[in-house]
Every structure is written in C-alpha cells, then in structure tokens.
Structure 1
Amino acid sequence: MGKLYERGFTQNRELSWLKFNDRVLSEAMDETVPILERLKFISIFTSNLDEFFMIRVGSLFDLANLEKKNIDNKSGLTPKEQLSRIFEDVKPLYQKREQLFYEVESQLRLQGVFYLKYKELEENEKKQIKQSFKLSIAPILSPQIIDTHHPFPHLANNIIYIGVMLRHKKKEVFGVIPVPSILPDIFYLPGSDTRYIGVENIILEFVDKIFEPYIVVEKTVFCVTRNADVNPDDEVFADEPDFRKRMQKVLGQRRRLAPVRLELSNFESEKISAYLMEKLKISEKQIYTTTSPLKMAYVYELISKLPESKRKPLVYQEFTPVWPGNIKQTESMIQQVEKSDLLLSYPYESMEPFLKLLKEAANDPSVISIKITIYRLASKAKLVEYLCAAAENGKSVTVLIELRARFDEQNNIDWSERLEDAGCNIIYGFDFYKVHSKICLITKKGRNGIRYLTQVGTGNYNEKTAKLYTDLSLLTYNQKIGEDAAEFFKNMSIANLQGEYHDLLVAPVSLKSTVLQLIDQEISKGQNGRIFIKINSLTDAQIIEKLAEASCAGVQVKMIIRGICCIIPGIPGKTENIQVCSIVGRYLEHARIYCFGYGTQEQMYISSADFMTRNTERRVEVACPIYDEKVRAKIHEIIEAQEYDNQKARVLMADGNYVKKSTMQEMVDSQQLLMDHAIQNVAVPITQETKKRRFIFGQLLHKWRKNR
C-alpha cells in the first residue's frame, strides 16, 4: 500500500490549520460583517496563533530534538521541515493582519472610535496621559538594565515587555520593563469612552524618563512565546500522588519552557532584535514584526464599554438563545424527557432546559444519583451549583473532571475543590488518556425498578460558550443508552478503558473501529452509498484511507470540517467523490455529526470526537446513536442549512486552497437561517426580513429533500 503521503491526497495538519486561521482572519475582510465584529475576528486570529505557537510549534521543537527521526505521515516532512514551512507561511499572515487592522481602525474612526498613538493625542490629552503615567503607571513598573550585576531575566510566556537599547558614557546596555498585568490593556482618554491608547504605548513614550540618565538608542514593544506543551504524565511529575497538585506543578513548569517565537513592534529595532535573538537562542525566522498591537484581548473590553448608541450599529444584531418551542417551561423536564427524546441546538436554543433538568434531579426524591463528565466550565456555573445541591440533598454525585483541559487547568482545579467540598465524589480519569466525552446520567427509582435519563452532547457544559459555539445536546429516556451510560461510568470509576457497550460508541475501545465498519458498509453499496460527516478536524490516517477507499468505490462523501482537514478532495481516481467545505461565521462551528446511508437505512450519531488520532485512540470520547425520528429530522434541518450555505462556507479544492461557494439565486448564511428557524418555533414578533429568510429556508429544505 505504501506510505500515506506518497498516495497524493493528503496534506500536513499544521499547514492545514494555518489555512483555517487565515479563514478566521478573512472574516475581518467581509464588509457585511459589522465593523467591531471584524475587529473581534482579528483578535480571535491573534489568540489562535498564540496558542498554535505554544502548543503545536512547541511540540514540533520537542520532536525535532529527539534522536529518533519523525516523519509526518500526511506530508513526508520532518519536524524541522514542518517548522520551516510554518515560519514561512506565517509571515504573510502577519502582513495581512496588519493591513486589515488598519483598514478596520480607519473605518472605526469614521464611526468616532479611535485607537490612538501618543503623537496623535491633543495637547491637553498628552498632559492628562503624562499625569496618569506619573501617578498610576510609573509607581508599579519594574525596569531593569542587563549587565554583570543585573543578569538577563526570565521573560514570561505571552507577556508584553518594553525593550530598550541604552547608551551611557559610551557603553550600551539593554533595558527591559514588563508591563504589569494589573494595568488595563487600554487607557481611555479623560472625558471620552471612544478615544483610547494602549498602555504599552504610554510606557514606550516615557521610557526615556524611566531610564534616566541613559540615552535611548532603540525602543520597542515585544513579546516572547514559549513552548507550553507540557505533559502531566511525564516522569518528572510522576512522584506526586495527588493529581490536583501534579497539575499545579505542570502549570508552573509551562511558564518556563523554551521560547518558540519573538514578536516586535518596531521594524527599526535591529540591535534589540539581534540581542534578544542571541539571549533567547532563536533564529531570525522565529521573529515577527508588526506595528499593530501584539495582543488584542482589549477588543472585548472596548465593545462592552462603548455606549449602547455607539455600539449597537457596529456589532451583530443581538440574539438571545431561545427556549425551544417543543419544550414546555411550566412542566417538569424529567417528565418531558420520559415522554420523548429532546434535542437542544446551541447557541440557537438555550442550555436552560438541561440546567432545569439537573436542578429538578437535585431535588427529586426519586433520583438516586447523578454522574457527569466535565471538560470545560464557565467561571460562573449554575451546573456546579445544582450538582452541589444534589450532593447536599444526600444524592450520590460523581463528577469526572478533566484537569488537563488545556489552558482551563486552574479553573477546573478550583471547581473540583468546590464540588469536593459539597460532598461530590471527584475522579480525574486516566494517565495518558484525557476524558473529553460529554455525558450525564441521572439514575432514579421508579415503579418498575431503576430507570435512566441520559444526556449526551457534542460540546462542553460551559454556560458561556453555549451561547457562542454551535453544539447539540440530546436528552433521552432510552434505557439501552442509559444502561450503556451506567456501564461507562462504572468503567471510568474502576479505570477500565476496555468496556463493552451495545449502543454508545466509546473511544478508545469501539468508536474508531465502528466508524471504519460503517464506512465499509457504505463501500459495499458502491454508488448507492452515502457518508456525511460534520467535525472540527480530520487527521486520523486510517479514517482518511478508508474515506478515500469509499470515494474510489463511488460512495458520495460530504464533509463539513471547520478546521484541520488532512484529506484533499476532488483528486481524480483517488478522492473525486469527496466534497469538503468549512464554515467560519458568527458562531464557532463545534457540533460533530456522523451519518451513514440514506433514508430509513441511515445510521446517525452525534459525538464529542473529531476524527483525529488523539480523539479516536488517546481520549475517552462518546458517540450516541440518534433513534428518535423528530430528533433526526431536526439534525437533518441543520445539515441541510449548512450544505446550502454560500456566504460563510468555503470549499476545499484539489489544489489545497479554499474558495467561496458560487452564489445561488438567494444568498444563504446557515447560521442566520438557523437563528431565524429557532425564533420561528417560539412566540415572538417576526420581522419582514426574518419572514423572507424563513421562506428561503423552506425552499432549501424542499430542494434538498427532492434531491435525496
């Protein structure tokens, strides 16, 4: 069969991810997107890239330092070759980001919103900023020069610094000032909530005063990105028996790993660049210079602080997730789930019905226990409140909380302590396997013995992101699924990864093998076969090979993959029957749906798992079959809307590039359609625009069903 990359239909995962982040940045080019939302997309691109360098680039450096030769099975590239390609491909993204930032800022200025540099301030504003610097900023700064008595300091990960090259008595030294995290990212000019300046630009302006009597030769804002890919299962942490304490050590270790990127704000700071390159032991390829802000978390504060009259026309029209029309707010959630399966579609529908179910269970005398897996939670969580109440009411509450959810470790440590204090039984999963499943089991005592209510979802129990990510949450009284869920939690509690399940697909034991069998099932049908997959990423080599085999057998394979896609579709004789598109829009596409076959023979699952090797082999994941016809129909409506999207969808071509879909007679934004469809099912006033989009949605459903 040969090596996968030699077969000519795969691409490198890191380079594919960079294309995804380029699609995020491209949303800032879309003039139909409100201007502050365009600025937000630039901010999202920036934070995405930060994490990419910390984790993916960091891990490639680790692989490059190993004696064993590692070859990427999708591209044939070594780690060093991948790094070289990444550094090359990121350069134009910085240029695009800078250009878009200033384009968006110029349009914001037309709306009376100003991100200013010091030299642009009015004279009275300069006086006020100078006074603010003297009273509020200078007293908490910690400037330092570097010489024989002042050694080069540790530069923390992803923190903004001011760097200066100084001269005094014919001697040049380097000076550095960390920008304290206690300071706000931006300072609003007195008397204004629409004119502001970055705190780093204020410090940069007065840096000569800070370092008197030195003369400032060069000055710049800079930021060091460090490798943050620390594995808590490494031997260095193995002696710590308390897993919570082990994770605390991991967080400490992460802050001190090797640098992988240096960002500078001044193209002319050649001496500083050369000095830091030597001290940090990085190459010139790892240095990126931009005059736009290095960090853009301030955008969210800016949007929230603008006066409503100014903000409203510059952001998306407000949308609040609705209570689904088929769920009665005044009736018991437990009783409604017992009558029929229910599906919540976030963020179009609210998470509140599930939270109400938990609250009821916490106080229902017939409920014996609640068991749940948690990967990420919001900083404020009703879910935790209800789980604690259940424990305090004498129910058995088991919470499997994953402390290794990257960058949410501290939040999960804090929540685990709160839950434990309330009397919940806390478990942490497995060494070498993250528990990424989203499953909750409510066990109650009924007239006919023990009965189960099960919730299975595609996304986290995070009440904040449930308003920002598209996800699905199934509530079911199906006892076979409940029995599997009970078996799952028993296995998690006794550290058994090899359990047997009849309906649920559970990684690492059965999910991947079953998916491969289902693809084989469609291959046996030839041109009558059908596969639909909606996931966030596709990297698993075996699944990729099997999908290519299905294409060669004539099976129609349609995939909606938001991010990384290592298969290249449309290659004659190899992947010509595979179509791939990506949707990047107002909400983060996050739901995972697998469908095999047509009509009454179709097998449908929702899942927590992407088709990445880490998910299929090195994580605990759960996929749940959808049996209820109404729930299946609702999922089909989501699929249909997304297949007809021609505004936010981008099609992956055989050359590896993404292009916008050709526009049909009507413009279709699937996320907007699904918002309108959710509103349609509740009793609220409907605008003429919503009526028009609802008509379009009906036409699309009719066309799709006719084509089937």
Structure 2
Amino acid sequence: MPAGKTEERRRAKKGVCVVRVKTKEEKMDNIYMNRELSWLKFNERVLEEAENNEVPLCERMNFVSIYQSNLDEFFMVRVGSLQDQMLVNQKIKDNKTKMTSEEQIGAILKEVKRLNRRKDAAYKSVMEKVAEYGIRLIDFASAKSDEKKFLEQYFNHEIVPLSSPTIVGKRQPFPFLKNEEIYAVVVLETRSGKERIGIIPCTNNMVERLIELPGNKGRYMLSEDLVLHYIGKVFKGYKVKGKSLIRVVRNADIDADALYDEDLDYREFMADLMKERKKLSPVRLDLSREIDGSVVEALCRYLDVSPERVFRSEAPLDLSFVYKIQDLLRMNPELFYGKRVPQKSASFRDGESIMKQIAEADKLLSYPYESIRPFLRMLNEAAEDDSVISIKMTLYRLAKQSKIIEALCEAAENGKEVVVLVELRARFDEENNIRWSRMLEKAGCQIIYGLEGYKVHSKLCLITRKGEHGIEYITQIGTGNYNEKTARLYTDLSLMTSNEQIGINAALVFQALAKGEIVEESEHLLVAPKCLQAPVIRMIEEEIQHKKNGEDAYIGLKLNSLTDKKIIDKLVEASQAGVHIDMIVRGICCLIPGVKGQTENIRVISIVGRFLEHSRIYIFGCGERTKYYISSADFMTRNTVKRVEVAAPVYSKAIRARLRAMFDLMLNDNKKAREEKADGSYELVKCEGEPVNSQEALYQEAYDRAAVRNAGSAAESTEEEK
C-alpha cells in the first residue's frame, strides 16, 4: 500500500479529517480535529491519571470515577445533542471535519468502547492495590459461608421489604428507568416455557450502597450485587435464565428558549422543565454482565436504544462509592495527595479595608493557591459600607452553602441596591440556582433571569460607591464561578480593580442586562456576543502584521477548549505568517498543531493533574506592546458569539508580570503536560532536566509568598511593641 494511503488511514482512525490535497480550502482539512473526538481524547488523559503509578492510589481511584462521570455528562449533553440533530436534519455536518451527526456518533461509540476497556482495567488494578490495605469488595464466589448467611438475612430483612419488583407483560408495561440509576434485570421462564423480564430498582436511599460484612473488618459488598444474586427469591415460581445489572443514561439536551412561552413565569417554567428533562430518551445502556442477545434486543426495544449504544462493563456501573472507600483509608496519608490549603494572598494586608487596598492598586487572586477570602471580605465590607450605593453580580454556579449569597442578602437588607443576574439555564445547576434566586428575591434583591437566546456565563461583580470626588467603582472579573468549593479545586483567576474606565464598561454591561439587551460596543472589556470574537481576531491580525513587518510577534492562550472556526483559521494564518503561538488547552482542541506549512508554528499542550485547569488567559504581542486579558470565555463559538462573556484587560505591570510567569511555568510543565502531535494524538512531555509540576510549583510559590508576608507582619508587630 502506498505510504500516503497508510498515513491517511492512520489519521482517520484518530478522528482527524483526511481529504485529498487539491484546493487551498482542502489543504486546511488535515488541521482540524472533530470536537467530540477531541473531548474523548481529553477524557483519555483523565484516565491516564488513573493508570499512573506515580499518582497516589486513592487519587487514582478518584480519576477512574471522574472519567465515568465525565463520560455520563458527555453522553447526556453532546451525544444527546447529536441525536437531536439527526432527528431534525441528517445532513447537518460539523463545520470543520464535515462529519455528519450519525458519523460522529458512530466514531464516538467505537472510541468509547475502546476507552471503557481501559477504564475496567484501571479500576481492577486500583482495587487490587486497595485490597493490600485491608479494603475488599467481594462477590459471592469469594464470600465465606458465615458471610453468605448474613447477606441472605440482610437481603430478606433490609432489601426485600423496600423493593418494588415488576414483571413486564401485557398488563404491566415496561417501567420508566430513572437516569443513571441501577436496576437488576432478570430473564424468567414460566412453567409453560414462556420468557418474561423482571426488574427491581437497586438505588435506595434507605439501604447503604456499601454493605459491611460482620466479623471481617474491611470486607464489603455492593448492594446491587446482593440484589442481583438473590433476585430469584423475589420472583418465586419462575426459573431464572439470565440476569444483569443495567443502567440507563438519558439525554439532557433540552432547549429552554425554544420551549419558553413569555406568558409563563420564567422561574417556574424552568423548574417544570427540569422535571421534563429527567424523562428524555435514553442515549446509552450499560450492562454488568452478558445476557441473552434476545433479551438485550428486548431491552433496546423497550428503551428505544440501538444495540450499538449498549456497553458491557467489568467495573461497577456507578463508581461514586469510591469516595466512601477513600474515607475508610484516610489513616493512610501516602494514598492521597499531600495536604494543601489555599494561602492568604500576599497582595492584601490584614486589618485594612479591602476596597481601600484595591483603590491603591489592582489585585489578582489565583485559585486554589490563594484563598477566596479577600473577595468575600470585599463583598461583606461593601454590604456594610455606608458609601456603597449598589452591588451588581452575574451568578452562574454557586456552592450549596454560599457565603456570597449571604453577603448579597445582607447588602439588600442594609438598604443597598443589589442587582443579581442568576442564570437559570446553567446546566445541571438549574435547581440550585432557582433556590438561590428565591432567597435573594426574598431578601430584597432585584433578580434578572438571563437573556433570551443567550446564556450569561460572565463572572462580573461591580460595586458602585459615592467617593470624595464623585462616583467610584470597584470591579471584579473572574475566570471561574463564585463558588467557594470549586475555588479549592479549580485553577482560576480573579482580578479586582478600581480602574474607572473598566468600571464604566462594567456598568454598561449591567445596564444592558437589566434591559434584556446585549452590549454593542465596549472600549476596555471584551464582551461577547458582539464584542469579543472580532477584537480577538483583530489582535491576531495585528501580530500577523508585526511579523510581516519583520518584528517579533507572539500569541499565548490558556483555554479550556478551542472550537471557534473563525479564530482557529486566523491562528492558522498567523502560524503561516511565522507568528509563534503557544496554547495551553485543557480539553477540546479542534486545531491540530505541527502540520507542515499550516500550523508548524503552533504548540499545544494540555495539563491534567490534581486540580482542574479552568483559568483563561489571552496574551497578544511582545515586549512593551503586549496585551494581557483574563476571561470567562473559551474560544468556542458558544462562548464567543452565543453567550454573554467578559474578558478584562490587565493594566497593572506587576500583575502582567505575574501572569506571564504563571503562563511560562505551565509551558515548562514536564510532569502533567501532554503535547498534541501533528497526527492529533497526545503524548506526555518528556521529563528532561528538572521535573516541573506547574500546579505543585504554583502552590509552593503561594506558600512561600505567604511565609514572607507573615514574617513581615510579625516583624512590624515586634517593631510596634518596641
């Protein structure tokens, strides 16, 4: 076979679009990666952490669970969306690789089956090592005689009274199977030789998922395995011909804007819509063991799932129980990452007004390395400050117990104008946000429920106060949610500034939101959907022009995902012009770097480690003319032109230098960074020279700065005492 044909087939297997090189447009086809297949490559990198022997054992267990929960959400959202596209128009194609929805689903299913085999192997390997620490999940083959007696009694007294068995027949239709819940299915044969299907739900809040066996510490059985073993006792009078645990994953892709009737109360409409989402059609069926093909066909028929969507799993169908096992192993610190605590920011002084300190100089918080407390202190201070006129915020995802909500409620109760945009369409957080919106409204806050056709994903807070010389602003712009919990788990940035022009721009954003409009023009902030994509493209074009003029040119981007074709094509043009481009893209990257004549000046790495990389940084230019931004927006079309997003310029020289140092440190990561190759694959960066784990290094820097800060404070106290 000719070498060219072999290369084409190899690239096609990796999800890279391969087209004969004929026209200029066709020449670019080999630089695109399909969005969905690129996401699966990200989840594969998560799985690699579960396989990595250098990662502590309980953390490896955690990564197996994250892989599975990621995959569930991917099927609910992305596969569900593709499924809906197929129903509407089978000719719809991905605008980069030209794959139809059906082709994409076919490629996804094939890749997931490959990855799931690795997941099963990773789970088995981890649990074998967990057993060395005295924790074992057993089945009936390994159960001792006294344990079997206990389990049978437990089943009879604790499970049977709570069970709701169903035999599918003419008078008993196939039951509705809840999303992501486990059921035991049994094939029953009547005395006359007819077959029936029996079903028992295994998810029950009254029964412990991990059943501890008496007399033998550290031996457990999953409750669903117990139900499956004794399921024949529930269906007496039948012969058991086959059985399996099953789990259904349902479509969660539902278009609220398309269904909303403006005569309805929007919040109540969203609450009802969440109930409807739980009933959407299945997109995947998981089985715990092989059962007769005719039974699988029957299940597929009842559930309206194609046989290709059926997955057999060696690992338990739901891995959330691993967190309980982690709790059982807490006395073994070597099985976990070393303890890290968000540090006090060296940028702030204790005992002084936060707003006053921000007025003196712009401040940057870097999560999870630094604590979110200065931001919370700023909100609490604003709630009590007589000079503060208003507090305005956009809220997307919040912690279950939110101190931010408490501060906003207090501000409203203290007579401040508090305007809060609560995005009720934040996927899987809708119910939480509905609850918070009611509490805020009750406290006297003015609530805005987003814009028609556009999710509000920006992380923007504006404090307006009456100063000595007129109106003053404190503006906070973040890359991540106002969530105290994720601020300890995700890497994010929070810029706080008293810059008047940024404050005026932020005020215009809130004015537009209050009127149900989008920002048409913005001088300092980049505000999607109208004022982000175009300025980004202009800044890329400026770098192209500088390079053409014989000057140095540079673009550095840190993103979660890159899918926006207009921006991708402009980055390719910049690469062809000789502009050096560094990209740190954690998840989806639809641009393939290193392709000769196309993207050879682009380097792409992905960092997957202890913390979820979530911050977005844009860098354009070299030397004194360099522009820095932090943003809530990835370079995805949904962010750049279909949502309200905000990117803020960084004018402080000290903060710009700090951002550059962070960015360069991540580029030099050789422990958790994977580099994307010209064939679309990812490889761990070779550790040559000193090992660099950027996340651990940034945490150590935070500890070191905090130590210097504390030493300085102690010295000042001693001097005052003298």
- Would you call these one fold, judging by a TM-score over 0.5? yes
Residue 530, structure 1, aligned to residue 554, structure 2 = yes
User: For 1:192-249, what per-residue CA distance to the aligned partner results, in whole angstroms no more than 9, with x for missing partners?
Assistant: 77432211111111111111122211110101111110010123x3255211111112
Q: Of the candidates 411, 415, 421, which is equivalent to residue 390 of structure 1?
A: 411
Deviations, residues 539-591 of structure 1 (Å, cap 9, x unaligned): 00100000000000000011000000000111111111011000000000000
Contact 2:137 2:219 in 1 (8 A): yes
Secondary structure of 2:153's counterpart equals helix
2:290 is matched with 267
How far off its partner does 1:432 sit? 1.3
Give the Cα separation in 2 of the matches to 1:607 and 1:5: 32
Partner of 1:244: 267
Specify which of 446, 454, 473 is matched with residue 452 of structure 1. 473
5+ residue gaps, structure 2:
1-22, 711-722
Residue 86 of structure 1 aligns with which residue? 108
- Aligned equivalents of 1:193, 1:238: Cα separation in 2: 58
Q: In the alignment, is the contact (CA less than 8 A) between 2:90 and 2:101 conserved in 1?
A: no
- Provide the C-alpha distance between the structure 2 equivalents of 1:79 and 1:566, rounded to a whole number of angstroms: 17
Deviation by residue 1:637-694 (Cα, 9 ceiling, x = unmatched): 21121011011000000000001112121111111101111100112999xxxxxxxx
Aligned partners of 2:115, 2:321: CA distance in 1, in Å?
Answer: 21
Native 8 Å contact 2:509 2:519 kept in 1 = no
How many residue pairs are counted as aligned between the two chains?
683
Equivalence map 1:4-403=2 (5 Å) = 7-67=29-89, 69-169=91-191, 170-182=193-205, 183-190=207-214, 194-235=218-259, 237-238=260-261, 241-303=264-326, 305-306=327-328, 308-310=330-332, 312-403=333-424
Change (3 A) 1:134 1:674: same
- Please state how far the C-alpha of 1:511 moved relative to its aligned partner: 0.6
Letter in 2 for 1:14: E
Q: How does 1:592-631 map to 2 (within 5 A)?
A: 592-631=616-655
Deviates more, 1:123-132 or 1:190-199: 190-199
1:656 to 680, 688, 698: 680
Q: Which amino acid aligns with 1:250?
A: L
Higher mean alpha-carbon deviation, 68-77 vs 532-541, is at 68-77
8 Å CA contact 2:244, 2:289 repeated in 1: yes
Structure 1 stretch displaced more, 541-550 or 103-112: 103-112
- Could you tell me how far apart the structure 1 residues matched to 2:618 and 2:172 are? 59
The answer to whether the 8 A contact 2:561-2:636 is kept is yes
Give the distance between the partners of 1:320 and 1:196, measured in 2 at CA.
33
CA contact 1:226–1:258 (8 Å) conserved in 2: yes
1:457-496 equivalences under 5 Å are 457-496=478-517
Quick one: distance in 2 between partners of 1:272 and 1:2?
52
Flag the 1:294–1:240 CA change in 2: closer, same or farther, 3 A: farther
- The 2-side partners of 1:392 and 1:284 are apart by 57
Structure 1: 5+ residue runs without aligned partners?
687-708
Q: SS of 2:359's equivalent? A: helix
Q: CA deviation at 1:125?
A: 2.8
Equivalent pair of 2:520/2:531 in contact (CA under 8 Å): no
Query: Could you say which residue in structure 2 is the equivalent of 1:702?
Result: none
Q: CA deviation at 1:271?
A: 4.0
Q: Following the alignment from structure 1 to structure 2, what is the Cα–Cα distance between the partners of residues 485 and 319?
A: 35
**Higher mean C-alpha displacement, 93-102 vs 211-220:** 211-220
Q: Distance in 1 between matches of 2:258 and 2:340?
A: 45
Q: The residue matched to 2:314 in structure 1 has which SS? A: coil
**Which whole-Å CA distance do the structure 1 matches of 2:451 and 2:216 have between them?**
53
String of CA shifts for 1:570-622, please: whole Å, max 9, x gaps.
11111110110000000000000000011211000000000000000110000
User: SS of the residue aligned with 1:432?
Assistant: coil
Residue 301 of structure 1, CA deviation: 2.9
Displacement of 1:3 in angstroms is 5.4
8 Å contact 2:572–2:598 — kept in the other structure? yes
Output the CA distance in 1 between the equivalents of 2:214 and 2:340: 33
In 2, Cα distance between the equivalents of 1:668 and 1:130?
53
> Cα offset for 1:4?
7.2
Q: Is the 8 A contact 1:367 1:395 kept in 2?
A: yes
Structure 1 stretch displaced more, 194-203 or 666-675? 194-203
- Determine the structure 2 residue equivalent to 1:694: none
| Secondary structure of the corresponding residue to residue 528 of structure 1 | coil
CA contact (8 A) 1:321 1:350 kept: yes
- The one-character-per-residue Cα deviations of 1:145-171 (angstroms, maximum 9, x if unpaired) are 001111111222211111110112122
Secondary structure, aligned partner of 2:391? strand
RMSD over equivalenced CA pairs, Å: 1.7
Alignment CA distance shift 1:193-1:362 (3 Å): farther
TM-fit CA distance, 1:371: 0.4
- Amino acid corresponding to residue 223 of structure 2 in structure 1: V
After superposing the two structures, state which structure 1 stretch, 653-662 or 248-257, moved more. Answer: 248-257
Give the distance between the partners of 2:294 and 2:106, measured in 1 at CA.
24
- Decide whether the 8 Å contact of 1:570 with 1:578 is kept in 2: yes
Aligned to 2:694: 670
What is the deviation of 1:133? 2.3
SS of the counterpart of 1:308? Answer: coil
The separation in 1 between residues aligned to 2:352 and 2:218, in whole angstroms, is: 47
Preserved CA contact (<8 Å) 2:390 2:465: yes
In the alignment, what sits opposite 2:582?
Answer: 558
Aligned residue for 1:578?
602
1:706 aligns with none
Tell me, yes or no, if the aligned pair for 1:58 and 1:228 is still in contact at 8 Å.
yes
In 2: Cα distance, 1:439 partner to 1:301 partner: 37
Q: Distance in 2 between matches of 1:315 and 1:240?
A: 53
Alignment identity in percent? 46
1:65 aligned partner, one-letter code: L
Distance in 1 of aligned mates of 2:564 and 2:48:
27
Distance 1:212 1:602 in 2: 76
Quote the offset at 1:253 in angstroms. Answer: 1.6
- Counterpart of 1:179, as a letter, is C
Q: Deviations over 1:485-534 (max 9, x none)?
A: 11111111011213322110000011110000000000001162100000
Corresponding position of 2:11: none
**Could you say if the C-alpha distance between residues 685 and 94 of structure 1 is closer, same or farther in structure 2, counting changes exceeding 3 Å?**
farther
Q: Secondary structure at the residue paired with 1:683?
A: helix
Q: Does the 8 A contact of 2:519 with 2:527 survive in 1?
A: no
Q: Distance in 2 between matches of 1:213 and 1:171?
A: 13
Separation in structure 2 between the aligned mates of residue 193 and residue 324 of structure 1, nearest angstrom = 45
Distance 1:240 1:3, change over 3 A: farther
Distance 2:249 2:377 in 1: 42
Residues 409, 427 of structure 1: alpha-carbon distance in 2 compared, 3 angstrom cutoff = same
**Deviation readout 1:28-76 (Å, 9 max, x if unpaired):** 1111110010010000000000011111001111111124621111111
Give the letter for the 2:566 counterpart.
Answer: Q
Shift of 1:12: 0.5
Whether the aligned pair in 1 keeps the contact of 2:29 and 2:96 (CA below 8 Å) is: no
Q: 1:100 to 1:307 in 2, by over 3 A?
A: closer
Q: Secondary structure at the match of 1:252?
A: helix
